[in-house]
C-alpha cells in the first residue's frame, strides 16, 4: 500500500509538472483526465439535483452534468449506481497551512508606544498589506483530515492583527503543487479585534480602542486615496487596493459580531462576520446586521455535574449554552440569515461531522446545511467556480453511499481538481446481517454489523457468547474462534449472500465452512429507535442568563395610591399622595386620582421616589480603559455596552434606574461615556439614552501618571501632575486649530480624537473628570477657562471641600464618594464631610459608586451624608437623584417626580434612606423592570431550570458522552483603575 | 464645649503641631451615670429609659432609670438617645497598614507560607489615622490579624485608645490564623485557559502539607526541644486548646474538610472565618461548637444565579441554623471600611435577623468568639465601661451619631484627622 503511494507520488510529480517544464525521468506522459460518472444522484448545487445523472469532468473542471450527457471517446466511465455526488465543501474561514506567530514576551520590558514597521501605518496592528501566501505551506496531514470531512477548498489566512491582510484560497489537493492548488493568492481581506502578536505596540488595549483604530484607519485611507498625504503608507495603499475583496471579520461572539458590523456600516462596508456560535441569543439584532455569517460548530461538552457541590458553581447561563448552542445554525436558518459553516474553533476537526449531524438533529434542514458548506461560502469568497458542479466549475466533488448528512452514509471519495482522494474504499461489500455459521457440523449464530472496512462480527452458540476475533479486509473475512483451549481459524469471502472458505483447527486440519445469510436487522425500526425525540431546547431569555426576561416587559398605566412621595423637587415631601404613570411619563400627582384601566398599586406605608442615578458606574461594559495612549478621546463606551451583565439586574433591585458608564482613569483624556437607562433585557442600543447627552471622562492624579502601575511604567508622558497640565493644553490647542481649519472649508484630515475635543471647546460635550487633590482640580478649571469652556463635573473630587468656593465660581458640580479614603496617597485628606461642605458652598453634589456592589445601595451611601456633615434627609436624597440628573443634563427628563418627566420611579418599603428599607418595585419609562414579588418567582424558575438541565447533563454522561469539569463563570468587575 | 474644641483646634493649627492620633484619655477618675437612654445591652436585651453607671473603668450598674438609686458622679442626660457597648471588629488588619497603595506603609503580609510565630500585635500602629476614624462610628475594638500564606500568624485583640500597642492590648495572641486551601482555582487565562473557576487540582496536596506540618510540630512539642523551632512553639497554644485556630475557609467542601482535618490533628478550638455555605454544614459546626465569623454584608452574590440579596440574608440563614456568628472584615479596602461595621450589622438586621440580634454580632458574639467576653461585649456590671451614646439607632447610617464615648471608663475624643479638616475648611468659608 505504501509502495503504491510512493509510486503514485512519483507519477504525480511528472504529470503535474507545469506543462512547459522539461521531463528528465522518462518520456512525457499526460494522465488521462477525462472522466464520466454515471448513474449517480448528483447535487449540482443544493437546489439543483439530478437523479441518475452523469457528471463529466476534464482536466480538473466540470465539463457538464445532467441526465443525458454526451460522453466523448477516450473517457473513463465510472458507474456510480446507487451513489450520490455532492460538490466538495468549502471552508471560508481557515488557518490551514499557516502558523500564527507567537507573542514575544513583554517581561522585563517597558511599554512600547511607537510602531515597529516603518513606511506603513502608525499602528502595527493595521496590516492589510500582509500576504498570507508568503507564510503558506501546504499541510498534507491536515489536508487529509479535511478531505475526509468532505472539504475540497479552504480559504486560509494569517490570523494576526486587527487588519490581517490577504487570504489564500487553496484546493485541498495533495497530489499537486501550489502552482495548481492555490486558486487565489489574494482571496479576501481579513479583520479582527485582536492585536498582532508581532508587535508590542500598546495601543489599542481594549475592544473600544480597536474599534476606534479601525475607524481612523478607514478615514486615513480615504484621505490617502485622495492624494492628500505627504508620505507613502504601504498599509493604507494596500487597504485602498482591496476595497472589492471579500471582507471577513472575526467577531467571535454575538456582541462582537454586532460591534464589527457597526464599524463596517459606518464606512459602507458589509463584512462577512465570523461568529461565535451564540448568535441565537439576540437573533433579531444578528438579522438586522444584514451580514452573511461564518459559524463555528464547536459546541461545548456537557458539564460533569455528578458532584452536586461542584455543579452548584456552574452558572445557569453556561448550562443553557450547552443545551442551546447546537440549535444556533437552525435558528439562523429559520431567520433567513445566510451563513456558512466552518471547522474553525473545533479543537478536533474530526468532531465536525458529528456536530453537523447534531445541528441537523436540532432543526437545521439538510438543504440549508449543504448551502452552508457549498454555495454560501463560495458567495462569501465571490467565487462561483467552487461549491457547485456547474459546467466550468472545479471538479471538486464527493462520492457517497447516500445522504451525506446521515450518520450511516459512507463518504467514499473526495475528488479535488479532478483528482481522486479515497476516503473509504468504494468496492467494500456490505456483508452486515445475521448468518448461520457451520463448521464441521457445528452451527453458530454470526452477526455482522458496522460500516465499510469497519464491519465486525460476533459469534454466539445459543445464548453463549463465543470468544472470537473478526476482521474484514479487502473483502476477505477472517475469524479466529476459541472454544476452551481449541482454536479454529476461518478465512473466506462472500458469494451470493453466503460466506464460505477454509477452516483450520488447532491440529492443522482443514475443512470447509460457510455462513448462510438469515436476515438483516430492520433498518427502519432501528432508525426510529435512534431517531429519538427531537432534543428539548430550553427557552432563550433576554438577556440569556438567570433573571433574564422571557417576555419583554410592557409599558403600563400605573396608579400608585396613598404613598409618601419624595419628589426630589426642592426637597418636597407629599404625604398620602397618588401618582399616575401613563405612556411612560408621570401623568398626574395628587389625591384621589383614578384612571380607567390603570394597574393600581397600594402605596400605603410605602415611599415613592424617582429612581436613583449613578453618575459614575463601570457595570454593563466589556471594557473600561483604553490605556494605550495618554489621550483616547476617540474611544467610546457606547461601543462596548454589555447588556448581559447581571449587575444591571442587581442595580435595579437597589432602585437604580440610570447610570453613566464612564471610561476609566488610565489617561488624562479618557473615552466617551455611555449613559444608560437600566431597562433590563434590552440590547445595548436599547439601554443607551435616546438623544443621549455627550460626555467624556478626564482624569487627574496618580492613575494618569501611572504611579501605581509598577516600575516598568515610567515611559509614557505624563509622569507628574506638571505634565498632565501640558497634555491638556497641547490637545486643546490642537483641537482648536483643527476646528478652525475644518470650519474654514479647507480640506482636513478627519481625526476622531480632535473632533471629540473640539466638541468640548464648542460646549457640545461635557467633561466628567476623575480628581482627587486640590492643586490639579484648580489647574483643570484654569485650563478650561483659558479655552473658554467649563468643566461640567469633577467626579470622586475628594478634596473638593478645599476648593469648593472656586468650584462654585467656575460652575462645576461634584460627584463624590460618601466615605472612601486611605486606599492611596492622594486620598489621604479625603473626608466624609466633603459632600456636605461642597453642598454648603452651593456646588451641585452627587454621590456615586464606581463599584458594582456599592451602586446597588446608593441610598445607604446618601444616608451617610446625614451622619457626616449633618445634611437634611432631603438634601441627602437629592445627591442620588436630581443632582446627578443635573450633572448629566438629564434633569429635564428624569431625576424627580414631576408631571411630564419620564416615569422612572421606585417604590420603597420605607424611608429610602433607612438601612431597613428595600426597593420593592423599580419602574423605568412606565415599565416595571424589577418587582420584589416577581423576583421570588424568578428564583424558583432558576432553581427548577437548573435541575432540569442538570438532569439532562447527567443523562448525557450516562449515555457515555464526554463531559467537561465544572467551571464557575466569573464576571470581571471594573473600577476606574482596572486595566 | 464645641467652641472650646474649635478654639483648641485653632491653637493646634497656629502652633503647626498636628498630631496624628487623638491623645489617649487618662484613666477614669470621675464616675459617670447615663440616664434616660434606650440601652442596647448587646446580649439581645433592651432597657428603655435606662440607667447605666460606671466607675474605675468598670460598669457598676445597669438598670431602669425609674429605680431609686443614687446617681454616681457626672450625670449625662441621654433621653431619646441610645447606649451601646463598644463595637468589636473580628478579623481586621487595622493598624497594620495605612495607605494601601504605598508599600512602605504595609505591614500586613509576611513572606513565607507557614508563619504561626508571626505576631501582629508588635506592628500595630496606635497612631494610625485610619484607626481613629473608627471611633465616631462606635467601633472601639478589633482583632488585629496578619494576612497571607497558609498559616498567616497570630492575632491579638486591641482597643482603640492607647499610646502604644502594649496599652492597646485586650488579649494578646488570641489565636492563630490559617487560610485553608481553595477548593477552586482560576483558569490561567494568559495561557489561553477559560478564566472561570475550576476545581483546584492541588487542593489535596495543600491539605496534606498542612497535616504534615502540624504533625511535625506535634512530634517536636512532645520531644525535648533541644534546639528550638519558633513556628512549632507558636502552635502549642492551638494544639493544647488555650488559643483558637481561626480557619479562613468557605464552601461546604472546604469547611467540612477543614473541621475534620483539624480535629483529627487534635485542634479542637476552631473558629471558621468567612464560612460561605456554612448553613449547609450546620450540624457539623454545632456538634463541635464551632462559631463562624461572617463577612461584611455589603458584597456581591457569589454567582450569577444567586439571589441578589443572599449576602444580606446570610446572617439570618446561619442564625436560623443555630450557629454562633460574629462579624469580620477582610477584603477590598478592609481597614477604612471597618468603620461601616455597624451598617453591615444593620443590613443583616434588615434582611431577617432583627436589630438586637444583629447588634449581638458585633458585640457579645464577637467578644465570645475572640475570648474577650469576660471584659467587653455587653453592658453588664463588672465589665469594662467601653460604651457610647448615640443620637439614634447606631446600626443605621442616618442616626449613628455619637455624642459621648468611653473606653474602659475613659472619656475618649471623637475628633479625627477627618473632623479636623472638616472644621478647618468649614471655618475657611465662614470668613
Q: What pLDDT sits at residue B13? A: 43
CA distance B295 to B275: 8
Q: What ipTM did this prediction achieve?
A: 0.94
Tell me the per-residue pLDDT of B104-130, one tens digit each, with 9 for 90 and over.
999 999 999 999 999 999 999 999 999
Residue A185 and residue A429 in contact, taking contact as beta carbons nearer than 8 Å: no
Identify which has the larger pLDDT, A450 or A338: A338
Residue A214 and residue A206 in contact, taking contact as beta carbons nearer than 8 Å: no
CATH number at residue A773: 3.20.20.140
Q: What pLDDT sits at residue A10? A: 41
B23-84+398-414 in CATH: which number?
Answer: 2.30.40.10
Residue A182 and residue A172 in contact, taking contact as beta carbons nearer than 8 Å: no
CA distance B271 to B294: 11
Is the full-model pTM beyond 0.90? yes
CA distance A407 to A510: 41
Q: What pLDDT sits at residue A12? A: 43
Do A478 and A626 lie in one domain? The reply is no
CA distance B10 to chain A (A): 17
Residue A589: phi and psi, rounded to 5, are -130, 130
A439 forms beta bridges with A442, A513
The mean pLDDT of B300-304, rounded to a whole number, is 93
Q: What pLDDT sits at residue A456? A: 87
Residue A603 and residue A907 in contact, taking contact as beta carbons nearer than 8 Å: yes
| HEC secondary structure over A151-170 | EEEEEECCCCCCEEEECEEE
Identify which has the larger pLDDT, A487 or B358: B358
| HEC secondary structure over B206-258 | HHHHHHHHHHHHHHHHHCCCCCCCHHHHHCHHHHHCCCEEEEEECCHHHHHHH
CA distance A610 to chain B (A): 20
Residue A380 lies in a domain: no
Residue A970 has its nearest CB partner, among B195, B339, B396, at B195
Q: What pLDDT sits at residue B10? A: 43
**Domain carrying residue A490:** 433-531
CA distance B175 to B116: 9
Non-local CB neighbours of A889 within 8 Å, separated by 6+ positions: A693, A766
The mean pLDDT of B208-217, rounded to a whole number, is 97
Burial of A270 (0-12, 13-18, 19+ CB in 10 A): middle
* Among A152, A116, A125, CA closest to A421: A152
| A369, pLDDT greater than 90 | yes
Residue A829: helix, strand or coil by DSSP? coil
CA distance A808 to A167: 59
**Domain closes at, from A485, A511, A531:** A531
Q: What pLDDT sits at residue B4? A: 52
The mean pLDDT of A268-287, rounded to a whole number, is 98
Q: H helices within A327-402, ranges in order?
A: 328-334, 351-361, 366-373, 375-380
* Among B278, B281, B310, CA closest to B294: B278
A684 to A81, A259, A540, A643, B33: CA distances (angstroms) = 56, 10, 17, 5, 62
| B6, pLDDT greater than 70 | no
Residue A546 and residue A540 in contact, taking contact as beta carbons nearer than 8 Å: no
* Among chain A residues, CA nearest to B131: A822
Q: Which of A546-555, B3-12, B140-149 has the lowest mean pLDDT?
A: B3-12
CA distance A639 to A684: 9
Count CB pairs under 8 A between chains A and B: 154
Tell me the per-residue pLDDT of B392-409, one tens digit each, with 9 for 90 and over.
999 999 999 999 999 999
Identify which has the larger pLDDT, A521 or B307: B307
| B11, pLDDT greater than 50 | no
Q: What pLDDT sits at residue A5? A: 43
Q: What pLDDT sits at residue B38? A: 98
B47 forms beta bridges with B39
Residue A688 lies in a domain: yes
Q: What pLDDT sits at residue A363? A: 95
A546 with B304: Cβ contact below 8 A: yes
Residue A849 lies in a domain: yes
Do A524 and A639 lie in one domain? The reply is no
The mean pLDDT of A811-823, rounded to a whole number, is 96
The mean pLDDT of B212-221, rounded to a whole number, is 97
| A973, pLDDT greater than 90 | no
Please report the residues numbered 699 through 718 in chain A whose beta carbons come closer than 8 angstroms to any beta carbon of chain B.
702, 707-708
C-alpha cell at A255: 456582541
Chain A residues near residue B194 by CB distance under 8 angstroms: 967
Q: Which of A274-278, A368-372, B193-197, B427-431 has the lowest mean pLDDT?
A: B193-197
Q: What pLDDT sits at residue A31? A: 60
Axis crossing angle, helix B417-430 with helix B2-15, rounded to the nearest 10 = 90
Q: Name the average pLDDT for chain A.
A: 93
Residue A968 has its nearest CB partner, among B99, B184, B252, at B184
- Beta-carbon count within 10 A of B372 CB: 21
Chain B residues near residue A805 by CB distance under 8 angstroms: 429
Tell me the per-residue pLDDT of A109-119, one tens digit each, with 9 for 90 and over.
888 999 999 99
Residue A822 has its nearest CB partner, among B194, B198, B335, at B335
Q: What pLDDT sits at residue A525? A: 47
C-alpha cell at A629: 495612549
Give yes or no for A820 touching B (CB within 8 A): yes
Residue A88 and residue A151 in contact, taking contact as beta carbons nearer than 8 Å: yes
* Among A804, A799, A807, CA closest to A830: A799
CA distance A58 to A44: 16
Give yes or no for A652 touching B (CB within 8 A): no
B100 with A823: Cβ contact below 8 A: yes
Tell me the per-residue pLDDT of A133-182, one tens digit each, with 9 for 90 and over.
999 999 999 999 999 999 999 999 999 999 999 999 999 999 899 999 99
Tell me the per-residue pLDDT of A423-460, one tens digit each, with 9 for 90 and over.
998 888 888 889 999 888 888 999 988 877 788 888 98
Burial of A109 (0-12, 13-18, 19+ CB in 10 A): exposed
Do A733 and A874 lie in one domain? The reply is yes
| A644, pLDDT greater than 50 | yes
Longest dimension (CA), chain B: 76
The mean pLDDT of A721-735, rounded to a whole number, is 97
Bond before A874 cis per omega within 30 degrees: no
| A838, pLDDT greater than 60 | yes
| B1, pLDDT greater than 80 | no
Q: What pLDDT sits at residue A523? A: 52
pLDDT band at B12 (very low <50, low <70, confident <90, very high): very low
- The alpha carbon of residue A339 and the mean position of all alpha carbons in its chain are separated, in whole angstroms, by 15
CA distance B233 to chain A (A): 36
Percent of residues, chain A, with pLDDT higher than 70: 95
**What are all long-range contacts of A52-55, with beta carbons under 8 Å and residues at least 24 apart?**
A55/A85, A55/A389, A55/A397
**Domain closes at, from A894, A922, A947:** A894
CA angle B323, B328, B329 (to 5 degrees): 155
| HEC secondary structure over A703-763 | CCCCCCCCCCCCCCCCCCHHHHHHHHHHHHHHHHHHHHHHHHCCCCCCCHHHHHHHHHHCC
| HEC secondary structure over A7-41 | HHHHHHHHHCCCCCCCCCCCCCCCCCCEEEEEEEE
Residue A779 and residue A698 in contact, taking contact as beta carbons nearer than 8 Å: no
**Domain closes at, from A503, A531, A559:** A531
CATH level 3 topology of B87-376? TIM Barrel (3.20.20)
CA distance A931 to A937: 10
Q: What pLDDT sits at residue B15? A: 40
CA distance A548 to chain B (A): 11
CA distance B349 to chain A (A): 7
CA distance A740 to A103: 43
Q: Which letter, b or e, does each residue of A889-921 get, where b requires 16 or more Cβ atoms within 10 Å of its Cβ?
A: ebbebbbbbbeebbbbbbbbbbbbbbbbbbbbb
| A513, pLDDT greater than 70 | yes
Domain span(s) for CATH 2.30.40.10 in chain B: 23-84+398-414
Residue A347: helix, strand or coil by DSSP? coil
| A932, pLDDT greater than 90 | yes
Residue A333 lies in a domain: no
CATH number at residue A501: 2.40.128.30
Residue A491 and residue A501 in contact, taking contact as beta carbons nearer than 8 Å: yes
The mean pLDDT of A853-866, rounded to a whole number, is 97
CA distance A34 to A196: 46
The mean pLDDT of A795-807, rounded to a whole number, is 97
Q: How many helices (H) and strands (E) does chain B have?
A: 14, 18
Burial of A96 (0-12, 13-18, 19+ CB in 10 A): buried
Do A829 and A703 lie in one domain? The reply is yes
A309 with B252: Cβ contact below 8 A: yes
Q: Which of A17-21, B85-89, B263-267, B296-300 has the lowest mean pLDDT?
A: A17-21
Residue A694 lies in a domain: yes
Q: Which of A671-675, A711-715, A754-758 has the lowest mean pLDDT?
A: A711-715
Residue A501 lies in a domain: yes
A969 with B335: Cβ contact below 8 A: no
Q: Which of A30-39, A832-841, A932-941 has the lowest mean pLDDT?
A: A30-39
Q: What pLDDT sits at residue B21? A: 64
Q: What pLDDT sits at residue A281? A: 98
Strands A182-184 and A168-171: antiparallel
Which run of H or E residues covers position A51?
A: strand A48-58
Residue B348 and residue B386 in contact, taking contact as beta carbons nearer than 8 Å: no
Do A703 and A823 lie in one domain? The reply is yes
Q: What pLDDT sits at residue A307? A: 85
Interface probe for A, chosen from B397, B399, B401, B416 (most Cβ of A below 10 Å), is B397
Non-local CB neighbours of B15 within 8 Å, separated by 6+ positions: none
Please report the residues numbered 162 through 191 in chain A whose beta carbons come closer than 8 angstroms to any beta carbon of chain B.
none
Domain span(s) for CATH 3.20.20.140 in chain B: 87-376
Chain B residues near residue A967 by CB distance under 8 angstroms: 187, 194, 196-198
Strands B74-77 and B32-40: parallel
Longest dimension (CA), chain A: 115
Classify the C-alpha dihedral A649-A652-A658-A662 as positive or negative.
negative
Q: What pLDDT sits at residue A11? A: 41
Structurally, how many domains does chain A consist of?
2
CA angle A603, A607, A609 (to 5 degrees): 115
- Beta-carbon count within 10 A of A137 CB: 10
Amino acid at each position: 500500500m505504501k509502495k503504491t503511494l510512493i509510486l503514485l507520488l512519483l507519477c504525480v510529480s511528472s504529470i503535474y509538472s507545469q506543462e512547459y517544464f522539461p521531463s528528465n525521468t522518462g518520456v512525457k506522459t499526460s494522465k488521462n483526465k477525462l472522466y464520466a460518472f454515471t448513474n449517480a444522484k448528483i447535487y449540482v448545487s443544493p437546489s439543483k439535483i439530478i437523479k441518475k445523472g452523469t457528471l463529466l469532468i476534464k482536466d480538473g473542471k466540470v465539463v457538464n452534468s445532467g441526465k443525458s450527457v454526451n460522453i466523448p471517446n477516450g473517457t473513463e466511465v465510472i458507474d456510480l449506481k446507487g451513489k450520490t455526488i455532492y460538490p466538495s465543501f468549502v471552508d471560508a474561514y481557515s488557518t490551514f497551512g499557516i502558523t500564527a506567530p507567537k507573542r514575544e514576551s513583554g517581561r522585563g520590558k517597558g511599554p512600547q508606544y511607537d510602531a515597529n514597521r516603518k513606511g506603513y501605518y502608525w499602528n502595527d496592528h493595521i496590516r492589510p498589506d500582509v500576504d498570507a501566501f508568503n507564510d503558506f505551506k501546504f499541510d498534507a496531514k491536515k489536508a487529509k483530515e479535511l478531505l475526509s470531512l468532505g472539504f475540497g477548498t479552504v480559504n486560509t489566512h494569517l490570523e494576526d492583527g486587527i487588519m490581517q491582510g490577504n487570504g489564500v484560497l487553496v484546493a485541498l489537493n495533495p497530489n499537486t503543487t501550489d502552482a495548481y492548488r492555490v486558486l487565489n493568492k489574494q482571496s479576501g481581506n481579513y479583520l479582527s479585534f485582536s492585536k498582532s502578536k508581532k508587535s508590542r505596540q500598546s495601543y489599542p488595549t481594549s475592544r473600544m480602542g480597536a474599534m476606534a483604530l479601525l475607524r481612523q484607519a478607514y478615514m486615513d485611507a480615504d484621505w490617502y486615496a485622495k492624494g492628500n498625504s505627504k508620505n507613502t503608507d504601504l498599509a493604507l495603499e494596500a487597504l485602498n487596493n482591496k476595497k472589492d475583496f471579500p471582507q471577513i471579520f472575526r467577531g467571535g461572539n454575538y456582541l462582537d459580531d454586532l460591534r464589527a458590523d457597526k464599524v463596517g456600516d459606518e464606512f459602507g462596508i458589509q463584512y462577512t462576520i465570523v461568529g461565535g456560535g451564540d448568535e441565537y441569543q439576540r437573533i433579531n439584532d444578528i438579522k438586522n446586521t444584514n451580514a452573511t455569517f461564518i459559524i463555528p460548530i464547536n459546541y461545548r461538552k456537557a458539564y460533569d455535574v455528578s458532584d452536586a457541590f461542584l455543579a452548584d458553581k456552574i452558572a445557569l447561563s453556561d448550562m443553557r449554552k450547552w443545551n442551546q448552542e447546537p440549535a444556533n445554525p437552525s435558528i439562523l436558518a429559520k431567520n433567513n440569515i445566510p451563513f456558512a459553516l466552518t471547522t474553525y474553533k473545533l479543537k478536533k476537526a474530526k468532531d465536525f461531522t458529528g456536530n453537523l449531524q447534531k445541528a441537523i438533529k436540532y432543526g437545521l434542514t439538510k438543504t440549508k446545511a449543504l448551502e452552508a458548506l457549498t454555495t454560501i461560502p463560495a458567495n462569501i469568497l465571490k467565487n462561483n467556480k467552487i461549491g457547485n458542479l456547474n459546467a466550468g466549475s472545479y471538479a471538486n466533488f464527493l462520492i457517497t453511499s447516500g445522504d451525506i448528512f446521515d450518520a450511516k452514509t459512507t463518504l467514499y471519495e473526495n475528488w479535488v481538481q479532478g483528482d481522486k482522494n479515497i476516503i473509504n474504499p468504494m468496492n467494500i461489500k456490505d456483508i452486515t446481517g445475521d448468518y448461520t455459521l457451520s463448521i464441521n457440523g457445528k452451527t453458530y449464530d454470526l452477526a455482522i454489523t458496522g460500516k465499510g472496512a469497519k464491519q465486525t462480527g460476533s459469534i454466539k452458540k445459543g445464548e453463549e457468547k463465543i470468544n472470537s476475533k473478526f476482521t474484514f479486509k479487502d473483502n476477505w473475512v477472517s475469524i479466529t474462534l476459541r472454544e476452551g483451549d481449541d482454536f479454529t481459524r476461518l478465512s473466506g469471502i462472500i458469494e451470493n449472500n453466503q460466506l464460505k472458505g477454509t477452516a483450520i483447527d488447532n491440529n492443522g486440519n482443514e475443512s470447509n465452512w460457510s455462513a448462510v445469510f438469515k436476515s438483516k436487522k430492520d433498518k427502519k425500526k432501528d432508525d426510529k429507535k435512534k431517531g429519538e425525540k427531537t432534543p428539548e431546547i430550553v427557552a432563550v431569555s433576554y438577556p440569556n442568563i438567570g433573571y433574564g426576561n422571557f417576555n419583554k416587559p410592557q409599558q403600563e398605566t400605573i396608579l400608585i395610591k396613598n404613598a409618601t412621595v419624595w419628589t426630589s423637587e426642592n426637597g418636597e415631601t407629599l404625604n398620602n399622595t397618588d401618582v399616575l404613570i401613563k405612556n411612560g411619563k408621570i401623568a398626574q400627582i395628587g389625591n384621589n386620582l383614578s384612571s380607567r384601566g390603570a394597574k393600581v398599586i397600594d402605596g400605603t406605608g410605602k415611599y415613592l421616589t424617582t429612581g436613583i442615578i449613578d453618575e459614575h458606574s463601570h457595570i454593563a461594559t466589556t471594557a473600561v480603559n483604553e490605556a494605550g495612549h495618554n489621550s483616547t478621546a476617540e474611544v467610546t463606551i457606547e461601543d462596548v455596552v454589555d447588556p448581559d451583565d447581571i449587575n444591571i439586574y442587581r442595580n435595579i433591585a437597589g432602585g437604580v434606574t440610570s447610570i453613566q458608564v464612564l471610561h476609566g482613569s488610565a489617561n488624562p483624556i479618557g473615552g466617551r461615556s455611555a449613559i444608560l437607562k437600566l431597562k433590563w433585557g434590552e440590547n445595548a442600543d436599547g439601554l443607551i439614552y435616546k438623544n443621549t447627552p455627550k460626555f467624556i471622562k478626564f482624569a487627574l492624579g496618580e492613575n494618569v501618571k501611572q504611579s501605581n502601575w509598577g516600575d516598568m511604567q515610567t515611559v509614557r508622558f505624563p509622569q507628574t501632575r506638571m505634565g498632565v497640565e501640558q497634555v491638556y493644553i497641547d490637545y486643546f490647542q490642537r483641537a482648536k486649530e483643527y476646528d478652525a481649519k475644518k470650519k474654514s472649508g479647507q480640506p482636513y484630515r478627519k481625526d476622531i480624537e480632535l473632533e471629540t475635543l473640539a466638541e468640548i471647546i464648542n460646549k457640545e460635550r461635557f467633561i466628567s473628570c476623575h480628581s482627587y487633590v486640590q492643586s490639579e482640580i484648580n489647574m483643570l478649571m484654569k485650563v478650561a477657562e483659558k479655552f473658554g469652556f467649563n468643566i461640567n463635573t469633577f467626579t470622586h473630587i475628594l478634596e473638593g471641600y478645599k476648593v469648593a468656593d472656586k468650584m462654585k465660581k467656575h460652575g462645576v458640580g461634584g460627584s463624590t464618594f460618601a466615605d472612601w479614603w486611605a486606599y492611596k496617597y492622594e486620598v489621604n485628606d479625603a473626608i466624609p464631610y466633603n459632600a456636605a461642605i461642597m453642598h454648603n458652598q452651593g456646588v451641585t453634589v452627587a454621590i456615586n459608586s464606581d463599584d458594582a456592589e456599592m451602586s446597588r445601595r446608593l441610598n445607604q451611601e446618601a444616608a451617610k451624608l446625614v451622619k457626616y456633615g449633618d445634611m437634611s434627609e432631603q438634601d441627602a436624597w437629592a445627591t442620588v437623584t436630581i443632582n446627578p440628573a443635573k450633572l448629566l443634563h438629564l434633569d429635564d427628563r428624569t431625576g424627580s417626580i414631576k408631571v411630564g418627566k419620564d416615569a422612572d420611579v421606585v417604590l420603597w418599603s420605607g424611608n429610602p434612606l433607612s438601612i431597613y428599607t428595600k426597593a420593592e418595585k423599580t419602574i423605568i419609562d412606565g415599565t416595571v423592570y424589577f418587582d420584589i414579588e416577581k423576583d421570588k418567582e424568578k428564583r424558583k424558575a432558576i432553581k427548577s431550570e437548573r435541575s432540569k438541565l442538570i438532569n439532562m447533563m447527567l443523562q448525557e454522561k450516562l449515555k457515555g458522552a464526554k463531559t467537561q469539569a465544572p467551571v464557575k463563570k466569573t464576571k470581571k468587575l471594573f473600577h476606574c483603575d482596572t486595566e | 464645649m464645641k467652641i472650646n474644641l474649635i478654639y483648641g483646634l485653632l491653637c493646634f493649627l497656629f502652633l503647626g503641631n498636628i498630631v496624628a492620633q487623638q491623645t489617649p484619655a487618662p484613666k477614669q477618675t470621675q464616675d459617670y451615670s447615663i440616664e434616660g437612654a434606650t440601652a442596647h445591652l448587646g446580649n439581645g436585651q433592651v432597657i428603655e429609659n435606662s440607667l447605666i453607671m460606671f466607675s474605675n473603668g468598670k460598669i457598676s450598674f445597669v438598670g431602669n432609670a425609674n429605680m431609686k438609686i443614687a446617681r454616681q458622679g457626672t450625670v449625662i442626660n441621654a433621653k431619646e438617645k441610645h447606649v451601646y457597648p463598644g463595637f468589636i471588629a473580628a478579623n481586621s488588619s487595622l493598624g497594620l497598614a495605612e495607605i494601601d497603595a504605598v508599600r512602605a506603609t504595609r505591614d500586613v503580609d509576611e513572606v513565607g507560607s507557614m508563619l504561626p510565630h508571626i505576631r501582629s500585635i508588635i506592628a500595630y500602629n496606635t497612631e494610625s489615622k485610619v484607626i481613629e476614624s473608627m471611633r465616631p462610628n462606635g467601633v472601639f475594638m478589633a482583632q488585629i490579624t496578619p494576612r497571607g500564606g497558609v498559616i498567616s500568624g497570630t492575632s491579638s485583640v486591641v482597643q482603640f485608645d492607647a499610646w502604644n500597642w502594649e496599652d492597646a492590648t485586650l488579649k494578646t495572641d488570641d489565636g492563630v490564623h490559617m487560610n485553608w486551601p481553595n477548593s477552586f482555582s482560576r483558569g490561567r487565562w494568559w495561557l489561553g485557559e477559560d478564566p472561570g473557576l475550576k476545581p483546584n487540582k492541588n487542593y489535596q496536596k495543600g491539605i496534606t502539607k498542612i497535616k504534615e506540618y502540624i504533625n511535625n510540630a506535634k512530634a517536636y512539642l512532645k520531644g525535648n526541644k533541644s534546639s528550638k523551632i519558633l513556628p512549632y512553639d507558636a502552635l502549642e497554644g492551638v494544639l493544647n486548646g488555650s488559643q483558637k485556630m481561626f480557619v479562613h475557609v468557605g464552601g461546604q467542601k472546604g469547611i467540612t474538610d477543614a473541621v475534620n482535618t483539624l480535629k483529627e490533628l487534635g485542634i479542637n478550638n476552631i473558629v471558621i472565618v468567612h464560612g460561605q455555605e456554612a448553613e449547609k454544614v450546620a450540624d457539623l459546626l454545632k456538634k463541635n461548637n464551632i462559631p463562624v465569623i461572617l463577612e461584611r454584608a455589603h458584597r456581591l452574590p457569589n454567582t450569577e444565579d444567586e439571589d441578589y440579596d443572599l449576602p444580606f440574608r446570610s446572617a439570618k440563614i446561619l442564625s436560623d441554623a443555630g450557629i454562633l456568628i460574629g462579624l469580620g472584615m477582610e477584603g477590598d479596602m478592609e481597614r477604612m471600611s471597618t468603620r461601616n461595621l455597624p451598617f453591615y450589622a444593620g443590613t443583616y438586621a434588615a434582611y431577617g435577623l432583627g436589630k438586637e440580634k444583629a447588634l449581638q454580632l458585633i458585640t457579645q458574639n464577637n467578644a465570645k468568639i475572640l475570648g474577650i467576653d469576660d471584659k467587653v461585649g455587653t453592658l453588664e456590671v463588672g465589665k469594662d465601661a467601653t460604651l457610647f451614646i448615640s443620637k439614634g439607632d447606631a446600626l443605621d447610617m442616618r442616626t449613628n451619631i455619637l455624642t459621648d464615648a468611653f473606653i474602659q471608663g475613659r472619656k475618649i475624643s471623637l475628633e479625627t484627622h477627618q473632623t479636623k479638616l472638616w472644621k478647618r475648611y468649614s471655618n475657611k468659608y465662614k470668613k
